[in-house]
Chain A
Amino acid sequence: MSEIDFSDPKTIAFLTEVLTAAGVDGLEISSASGKLRIVVSGGENHVSQAARASSKPAVINAPMAGIFQLRDSASADLPHSVAAADVLGFLRVGHVLVPLKAGHSGVLSRRLIEPGTLVGFGDALFEIEAQS
């Protein structure tokens, strides 16, 4: 498979379009040739709105299709506290990693998908309980 040229404006435009369509707020790609960061204004992870308003755990859903990955091995240990800006994991699409932000502060209590699984738009990935 040929390497993708992340400095190509067409590639950047394509990725931006995909992220915008999926409602993702940004991504960062690191490769031997450098680093690319795209930030889409107005986007946010797809989070269950109903959960925000209730005492039920907030469910973090996949904002697009991709291969689910944890951020690092330490993040596999549950439960643990998280801040809204924390990255809980990624969706991998080829060389691209799309960060999955918590979106809420609280206790990350459950992981609903095994790492390495192909997930679709809206699939439930994590549960975060409000901190008492």
Chain B
Amino acid sequence: MSPFPDHKPLFDTVLIANRGEIATRVQRACRDLGLKTVAVCSEPDRDASYGKSADVFLCIGPSSASKSYLNKDAILLAARLTGAGAIHPGYGFLSENAAFAEAIETAGLVFIGPTAASIATMGDKIAAKRAMIAAGVPCVPGPDTALPDDQSLVEQIALDIGYPVIIKATGGGGGRGMRVVTEPARLQDALALTREEARQAFGSPALYMEKFLQHPRHIEIQVLCDAHGNAVWLGHRDCSMQRRHQKVVEEAPAPGIAPEIIGPVGEACVEACRQIGYRGVGTFEFLYENGAFYFIEMNTRLQVEHPVTELTAGIDIVQQQIKAAQGIPLELTQQQVTCKGHSFECRINAEDPETFMSSAGVITGLELPEGEGIRVDTHIHAGYKVSPYYDSLIAKVIVHAPTRTEALARMRQALADTRVDGISTNISFLRALFDDAAFAKGETDIHYLEQWLKQRATP
């Protein structure tokens, strides 16, 4: 039976403009929906397993991402040559590039994601904050405008907010272009440095300022919207386990947050989506401290950690994302969204477990965990050559169990059953983390992992 019973699909072939585990994941969702797939690759990825299982597999450029996975023209050309009617960007690469989304729609194809206008709004931190305030989403204290050039005015803003403050590039992200200022005497230098960084990294020197929270947790709310004004939120995640702003372990739901506290925040996120005409999947990221939520940014794409929400909400988020792009109305209401149990995700990276230096090479042996409540999203296999050119993520081990305690135990066993030979991985580091008492207790803040690593490094 067609998965689109009452609707003529807008497309029957999806080009997946990405690589690695997410290419495999998107391909599976397309197949489940009866859609054909086009996989594209750079030269080092010619042997990728998802290439063999795609309907068409096409190399679009050399190893350099700028000439392959970030090459808009090459991807559009591949779509035209293969007759793909839609492009799924995955995450990273061009997934939050408004110009790419616009180019796809201009070419008469469907971008599986929000409109270019939504991406542009949320990519501008000030515009995003303004939109969130308008929708009633709680934000970090600080003005929703760029900082003025007048130093004395900036000093007054910082005093009004209260030190410590954080200065951020309006076009920044991923932990870059931001600086914490703890006292007035350090403000001038911090402004000059961050402005220059912002100019070089993001093409704009515009900065804004917010209250710096000292011990927050990183909490996310997953939303799902169609093109008809319907939107739901699918629960929340805790992604506080970060090293250098990179998430290492994620879990759903975020432990220790009462439904009556997070419920109104989820509803406000949904309202924000309706107000900006958001389409597809998205994630609202918050800092959470002393029982209060503070919006930091919205990610207008599928996220690496989406599986923990899939397992607790029982919803295939990638399929829903594709259906939204097809113009199909959302098939569930907020009342029908019920999150059950607890889920963890570990990112298995090809990197040294002590130094975190990337590790490339051939995987000579591989054992992956399996069993009830265990899922592995990966593209690797024995004999796979891990390329030095791209992100070090090689697999995601995800578990689900009725309670957090049981999910912790399940992940410990899953990690014990995971073996990757031939390259270095962070598996031993993850095993140690899951044996840590404070992590097991839950509710650790975003600085916990860095501190834990420092303690481990101290003889």
Enumerate chain A interface residues (CB-CB to B < 8 A): 14, 17-18, 21-22, 64-67, 93-94, 118, 120-123
Contact B43 A118 (CB under 8 A): no
B263 within 8 A of A: no
Contact B81 A121 (CB under 8 A): no
**A17-B73, A64-B74, A65-B74 known; A118+B80 contact, CB < 8 A:** no
B56 within 8 A of A: yes
Contact A121 B80 (CB under 8 A): no
Separation of A116 and B277 alpha carbons in the complex (Å): 44
In the assembled complex, how far is the CB of residue B104 from the closest CB belonging to chain A, in whole angstroms? 14
Contact B58 A65 (CB under 8 A): yes
Contact A118 B60 (CB under 8 A): no
User: Which of the four size classes fits the interface of chain B?
Assistant: 20 to 34
Contact A122 B74 (CB under 8 A): no
- Which residues of B are found within 8 Å of A120, using beta-carbon distances? 41, 57-60
- Which residues of B are found within 8 Å of A121, using beta-carbon distances? 43, 59-62, 68, 74
- Which residues of A are found within 8 Å of B446, using beta-carbon distances? none
Best-buried of A14, A120, A121 by chain B (most CB within 10 Å): A121
Query: Which residue of A has the minimal Cβ distance to B67?
Result: A21
Query: Which residue of B has the minimal Cβ distance to A46?
Result: B62
In the assembled complex, how far is the CB of residue B336 from the closest CB belonging to chain A, in whole angstroms? 43
**A21-B71, A65-B74, A121-B43 known; A93+B80 contact, CB < 8 A:** yes
Contact A118 B74 (CB under 8 A): no
Contact A65 B43 (CB under 8 A): no
B77 within 8 A of A: yes
Separation of A67 and B77 alpha carbons in the complex (Å): 11
User: Can you give 15 A-B contacts (C-beta < 8 A)?
Assistant: A21-B61, A21-B74, A65-B59, A65-B74, A67-B81, A93-B77, A93-B80, A118-B81, A120-B41, A120-B58, A120-B60, A121-B59, A121-B68, A121-B74, A122-B59
In the assembled complex, how far is the CB of residue A21 from the closest CB belonging to chain B, in whole angstroms? 6
